[in-house]
Amino acid sequence: MTIAIYPGSFDPVTNGHINLIERAARVFDHVVVAVAMNSQKQGLFAVEERLDLLHAVTGGIAGVEVDSFEGLLVDYVRRRGARVVIRGLRAVSDFEYEFQMAHMNHKLYPELETVFMVTGADEFYISSQLVKEVARLGGCVDGLVPPAVRDALSAKFRGARGT
């Protein structure tokens, strides 16, 4: 059984992420969507909230599991018995960073392979950061995120505005 790990912050999960998860689930036997916990970064959503949202939006995708990890990705991949990491590329600008990370991870865990998947044509411009900014400013995020995430963003920013 081929296990692939799709790591990220998923703060929040977007339709671009969902596109990659669905496509990866058709290629690999088991896909673990792994929320990276980074104590150096303060996300909009707590890790538990991200996990809940990911469960809600991936529940209908066969072969997909949601988990979280802290520390080095390669250590988590080893613990999970995987040898494949999935990384999404939206634009050429993503490639340089992802290429460097893939080589570092391979240096730390030579059996690890990074599979780059190009984001779908309808989602390549979507980033979690842009979605948060649009939502924070009261803009419409329909079509950018699943409805559960839209509602969570609305609640988060409505609470921040005190309305």
Active site members:
17, 41, 90, 128
Q: What is the DSSP letter of 61?
A: S
Q: Which residue has 């995708």 as its token pair?
A: 61
Contacts of 142 (CB under 8 A, 6+ apart): 150
Instruction: Output the DSSP codes for 108-129.
Output: H-TT-EEEEEEPPTTTTT--HH
Q: Max Cα separation, the chain?
A: 52
Is residue 80 within 8 A of residue 5, CB to CB? The reply is: yes
> Strand (E) positions, 25-161?
30-37, 64-70, 84-89, 113-118
| Residue 64 three-state SS | strand
In angstroms, rounded to a whole number, what is the distance separating the alpha carbons of residues 96 and 154? Answer: 34
